[in-house]
Amino acid sequence: MRNTLLLAAIIATVTITAAACKSDIGPGFTNDKVTLGLFVSTSGDIATFGQDTKNGAELAVEEINKAGGISKHLIDLRFQDCASEPAQGGNAATKLITQDGVLIGMGEVASGISLAAAPIFQKYGVPMISPSSTNPTVTQQGDMIFRICYLDDFQGAACALFANQNLNCKTAAILMNQDDAYSTGLGKFFRFKFEKLGGKIVAEETFKKGASDFNTQLTNIKGKNPDVIFAPVYYQDIPLIAKQARGQGIDKPLLGGDGWESDDLLPKADGKLDNCYFANHYATADDAPIVANFVKAYNAKYGSNPTSLAALGYDVVYVAKKAIESAGGINEKLTRKAVADALRGLKDFEGVTGTFSIDKNRDARKPIQMLKIKDGKVLPDRRIRPEEVE
Amino acid sequence: MLRTLGILALICAAAFGLHLVLDSIDAYWARIANLCGISILLAVSLNVINGLCGQFSLGHAGFMAIGAYVSAFFTTTLRYFDDAAGQYVTVLPLLDQSWGFVPALLLGGFAAAAAGLVIGIPTLRLRGDYLAIATLGFGEIVTIMITNFSKVGGANGLSGIPAYSNGFWIFTFAGICVLFTLHLQRSTFGRALIAIRENELAAEVMGIRTARIKIAAFVYGAFFAGIAGGLLGHFLQTISPATFGFMKSIEVIVMLVLGGLGSLTGAIIGAVTLTVLPELLRDVETSTGMPGIRMVVYSLVLILLMLFRPQGIFGQRELSLRLLRSLLPGRRKEGAPSAPAAFTAQQSVEAKTFFARAPQTLPPQNEGKK
């Protein structure tokens, strides 16, 4: 009895205190500073992805602050590590919102972590821009969630168009990793578009994650004699596939997606990937001034060529800047909702990864860069715009 | 019976009070507190299998995955994404309330328990390392099956799960789990578990049906792991097979070992420590400006703890008034437990005083000292 009374008293006290105080997340800027949040993984399985993104974003912040900041407010970039785990990603997002009071959150690379962070940003009405999560459901989590990379349906279709128009292929084979949603997804979208364009998929072969012998699949493909082999796999697998294919005497080009991108790609392939093609977000060898300046500045600061993730991390900060400026710059009238509205209306933003707009699904509508491997170099080939594949 | 119902009502009331507190404090710390609640469920349920019964299971994340997917499937298939409205719409308006969540959660728990039964019958014939490998295999099978099952999103996982988990549900279930486990430890069944852990052959000679008891412990642990998985899914609002990988099982085992394998209070303390520690270390990372230092310090803390206190924070003891009193200077008795492997009658009495229960509810003290 005494315990029950005590408990009732505790509950009553707590209810009264709970009603009295409620945390406020603030406007996201002060008189001379604007707080932006970055959450990617710098530890765990996907730490390299997060580190590249962070490098790119920090380079952009440094440049903007050197040039005077966003409407005379210097950027105060707050970073939180997601440790490659959805639960920790959610923690990082919550900390950025409620403790750092960021105006805009930028992150994650992995869709699984972005999906855990998105409902939190949506709940607090803070805009979130993902630089590189490709799962379509990420931006469906709410009207505050945006992304600036292309989606895999567009990438698969663009590869099919490229095979049909530029490589003049009538038949194609697909070789994919059955355990990977990225790989099977691209394969599916490629098949759909290629057949629509009048081509024929003569073989579809799969392998298991971690496989190192692809000879069985390649023998089957060789028997069907396709004009091109579409291999939407990661950079660890493609050099082995190329060597074994050339070893079997298959001389047709291999075609792939952005999973091929890596500094290791060419050294590991021993020249066997010559005259092959892959799709990417941008080309380091692009001579457009914005790309050349970025590659030069990145090399000077970090001593390596920027990956696509670094380029997207760089672009995401500039997208945030442009959105704040289109919302009327930083003054007492600026709200997070106004920034989100500006993001929704973002048109013809010129970034390292191409000129793009935000569509009605809050996804980026942007061109894809096809790359050609020739004499140990990765050279820019055709750029495919979204309207070309529709 | 009436008494149990009363205690359940008290747990619910306390969880509700806690829920209100968490609602009023900073959302970040409230979130960490909720994650602690889920970790407590995981650690306490695994403690019954690994700590009390001494069966080394590496498949806890597999049970979590089953609970998470079954309950999330139940709550998400009854909703769809409305393109025009730009949000999720519920088929049955009644399920919009989080009351629809409890049957879903229990369904997840029972599915995990059923899996525990199916996997327990053949594998619990194995001992030691062999059992560990078999349960590890089970965990892998679960994640691989989910990855290749496109109805639940395959490798991409499920997203848009309604945010039904909150402080109230998490701490109600954590409280129930702790209470049940406390009762279980004191029951004949709990003593049988400890007997099996200490010497399986001797336990069998004493007339304990070891196979049955081990399977029951397995099913019990699996049930609460399934509940924890369901709570986590509806808390994160997204689940994927990668969330329930092998490392998740290891994480729960580390919680147990850190707190003291076989101790209920140890499991709770271990769960809270391992959930809060990485978050406390975030500020270390920000202030030193060294990315990744967080995980280095975290690992270092674990290594140091194991070096200087290999039996875990609590060993096999429980936090109790008597234990606290015996730690006070000048009142230290000669019977300070030194052999870490022995769960003595003395300690079980200490466990009782944790909730200051009347001594007449003690079961016959016939297990004897080792």
The answer, yes or no, to whether residue B186 has pLDDT greater than 80, is yes
Encoded tokens for A121 = 């940003």
Do A245 and A292 fall into the same domain? no
Cβ within 8 Å of residue A280, ≥6 positions away: A258, A260, A261, A308, A368, A369, A370, A371
**Any chain A CB within 8 A of the CB of B25?**
yes
**Which residues on adjacent β-strands are paired with residue A34?**
A29, A75
pLDDT < 70 stretches in chain A: 1-23
Angle (CA) A132-A138-A140 rounded to 5° is 140
- Rounded to 5, what percent of chain A is helix, strand, coil? 45, 20, 35
**Residue B128's Cα: distance from chain center in Å?**
21
**Any chain A CB within 8 A of the CB of B160?**
yes
| pLDDT for res B327 | 66
Instruction: Chain B: give the shortest CA distance to residue A305, in Å.
Output: 21
Do A376 and A267 fall into the same domain? yes
pLDDT tens for residues B323-351? 666 666 654 444 444 444 444 444 444 44
Q: What is the DSSP string of A329-369?
A: -SSTT--HHHHHHHHHT--SEEETTEEEEE-TTS-EE--EE
Do A263 and A163 fall into the same domain? yes
Q: How far apart are CA A203 and CA A214, in angstroms?
A: 14
Q: How far apart are CA A227 and CA A238, in angstroms?
A: 18
Do A231 and A378 fall into the same domain? yes
pLDDT tens for residues A165-209? 999 999 999 999 887 778 888 999 999 999 999 999 999 999 988
Euclidean distance between the first and the last CA atom of chain A, given in angstroms as a whole number: 72
Instruction: Chain B: give the shortest CA distance to residue A116, in Å.
Output: 5
Do A235 and A186 fall into the same domain? yes
Euclidean distance between the first and the last CA atom of chain B, given in angstroms as a whole number: 34
Encoded tokens for B94 = 């009644």
Q: What does pTM read for this prediction? A: 0.83
Residues of chain A with Cβ-Cβ distance to B16 below 8 Å are: 11
Interface of A with B in 47-76 (CB under 8 A): 47, 51, 54
Q: Which helix (H) or strand (E) holds A12?
A: helix A2-20
Per the structure, how many domains does chain A have? 2
Q: B33, B20, B167, B18: which is closest to A19 by C-alpha?
A: B20
Do A116 and A211 fall into the same domain? no
Residues of chain A with Cβ-Cβ distance to B21 below 8 Å are: 14, 17-18
pLDDT tens for residues A249-302? 999 999 999 989 888 888 888 888 999 999 999 998 888 899 999 999 999 999
Do A263 and A334 fall into the same domain? no
| pLDDT for res B344 | 46
Do A270 and A156 fall into the same domain? yes
**Residue A332's domain is classified under what CATH number?**
3.40.50.2300
The answer, yes or no, to whether residue B282 has pLDDT greater than 90, is no
Angle between helices A181-196 and A152-165 (to 10 degrees): 40
Encoded tokens for A276 = 């092959």
| pLDDT for res A121 | 95
| pLDDT for res A21 | 44
The answer to whether the Cβ–Cβ distance between B20 and A111 falls below 8 Å is no
What three-state secondary structure class fits B310?
Answer: coil
Q: How confident is the model at residue B177 (pLDDT cuts 50, 70, 90)?
A: very high
Interface of A with B in 123-182 (CB under 8 A): 135, 137-138, 140-143, 179-181
Residues of chain B with Cβ-Cβ distance to A112 below 8 Å are: 156-157, 238, 240, 242-243
Do A170 and A318 fall into the same domain? no
What three-state secondary structure class fits B168?
Answer: helix
Angle (CA) B263-B266-B269 rounded to 5° is 160
Q: A98, A183, A243, A325: which is closest to B25 by C-alpha?
A: A98
Residue B41 near residue B173, CB atoms below 8 Å = yes
Residue B92 near residue B103, CB atoms below 8 Å = no
| pLDDT for res B343 | 45
| pLDDT for res B317 | 77
Query: How large a percentage of chain B has pLDDT more than 70?
Result: 80
pLDDT tens for residues B253-272? 999 998 888 899 999 999 99
| pLDDT for res B284 | 81
- Measured CA to CA in angstroms, residue A164 lies from A170, A176, A233, A388, B42 at distances of 7, 20, 20, 13, 54
Compute the half-sphere exposure of residue A218: CA atoms within 13 Å on the CB side of its CA.
Answer: 20
Interface of A with B in 331-390 (CB under 8 A): none
Q: How far apart are CA B278 and CA B299, in angstroms?
A: 10
| pLDDT for res A48 | 85
Q: B81, B79, B102: which is closest to B92 by C-alpha?
A: B79
Q: How confident is the model at residue B136 (pLDDT cuts 50, 70, 90)?
A: very high
Q: Which of B156, B279, B283, B357 to mutate to test the interface with A (most CBs of A within 10 A)?
A: B156
| pLDDT for res A235 | 86
Do A254 and A168 fall into the same domain? yes
Residue A64 located in a structural domain: yes
Do A292 and A349 fall into the same domain? yes
Q: Which helix (H) or strand (E) holds A388?
A: helix A386-389
The answer, yes or no, to whether residue B195 has pLDDT greater than 70, is yes
Q: How far apart are CA A123 and CA A23, in angstroms?
A: 14
Sign of the torsion formed by the C-alpha atoms of B257, B260, B262 and B268: negative
Helix H, strand E, coil C: the string for A179-243 is CCHHHHHHHHHHHHHHHHCCCEEEEEEEECCCCCCCHHHHHHHHHHCCCEEECCCCCCCHHHHHH
| pLDDT for res B48 | 94
What three-state secondary structure class fits B108?
Answer: helix
Q: How confident is the model at residue B187 (pLDDT cuts 50, 70, 90)?
A: very high
Residue A9 located in a structural domain: no
Ranges of each domain in chain B: 2-79+88-249
Q: What are the backbone angles phi and psi of residue A75, rounded to the nearest 5°?
A: -80, 130
* ipTM for the whole complex: 0.81
Residue B217 near residue B60, CB atoms below 8 Å = no
Residues of chain A with Cβ-Cβ distance to B287 below 8 Å are: none
* Beta strand segments in A47-155, E: 74-81, 104-107, 128-130, 145-147
Q: How far apart are CA A323 and CA A344, in angstroms?
A: 9
In this structure, the dihedral spanned by the alpha carbons of residues A127, A131, A136 and A139, taken in order and rounded to 10 degrees, is 0
The answer, yes or no, to whether residue B115 has pLDDT greater than 60, is yes
Residue A17 located in a structural domain: no
Report the amino acid identity of residue B144.
I
Structural domain for A187, as ranges: 152-280+370-389
Instruction: Chain B: give the shortest CA distance to residue A298, in Å.
Output: 19
Q: How confident is the model at residue B288 (pLDDT cuts 50, 70, 90)?
A: confident
Residue B143 near residue B69, CB atoms below 8 Å = no
| pLDDT for res A290 | 93
Encoded tokens for A339 = 């920034």
Instruction: Chain A: give the shortest CA distance to residue B52, in Å.
Output: 29
Q: Pairing mode, if any, of strands A104-107 and A128-130? A: parallel
pLDDT tens for residues B307-329? 888 888 887 777 776 666 666 66
Residue A246 located in a structural domain: yes
| pLDDT for res B79 | 62
**Any chain B CB within 8 A of the CB of A99?**
yes
Q: How far apart are CA A312 and CA A353, in angstroms?
A: 7
Residues of chain B with Cβ-Cβ distance to A10 below 8 Å are: 17
The answer, yes or no, to whether residue B233 has pLDDT greater than 90, is yes
Could you give the residue ranges of the DSSP H alpha helices within chain B?
2-24, 27-46, 60-76, 101-123, 128-147, 167-186, 188-198, 200-205, 210-236, 246-259, 264-280, 282-288, 293-308, 321-327, 345-353
| pLDDT for res B369 | 41
The answer, yes or no, to whether residue B290 has pLDDT greater than 80, is no
